[in-house]
Structure 1
Amino acid sequence: MGIGTSIFLLAVGAILTFAVNASVGGVDLDVVGWILMAAGVLGLVMVLLMRGRRRTVTTAEPVAYQRVEERRDVAPPL
């Protein structure tokens, strides 16, 4: 789950919890909203933790240069 998906889940959950006053038979929209917001927060925390643990390794040593010679006595392939 990415940052965008987490923020989307948070927004949809907040809308269902705080802005919608409709009732659907057998489904409590407030509970669904809270569950979506919890999933969004959990996903956001996990994404940020994984991003913090990602390390890039760079080497300070220069790349070894190789000499390349072109042979002109060989005919190119047909």
Structure 2
Amino acid sequence: MTIAGGIILIMLGAILTWAVEFDLAGLDINVIGVVLMIGGLAGLLFGLYRMHVTRRVIQQPIPEDPHARRTTTVYEERRRIDEPPL
């Protein structure tokens, strides 16, 4: 679920909980709205967790010219900590 999907579920659940005055036999619209809000919150938190990127900058000397003071900068990005390095 994406972040936008989680926000949409939260909004839909809030509308069903607080703005709808409709009754169906055997269904409680308020409870359905609360369930949608909780599901949307869980999806939003999961989407934010998946978006977390770990960045590490490694500077290495250039091996061709040992007397030069230049360095090579390597950027490594991983989506999760448990993923192997690229």
Instruction: Count residues in correspondence.
Output: 60
Distance in 2, matches of 1:28 and 1:43, equals 23
Work out the percentage of aligned pairs sharing the same amino acid: 35
Where do 1:1-78 residues align within 5 Å?
A: 1-52=1-52, 54-55=53-54, 60=73
Bigger fraction of residues in strand: 2
TM-score (structure 2 length as normaliser): 0.62
Runs of 4+ aligned residues of structure 1 deviating over 2 Å after TM superposition are: 54-61
Bigger fraction of residues in helix: 1
Decide which structure has the larger Cα Rg and report it.
1
- Structure 1: tracts of 5 or more residues without a match: 62-78
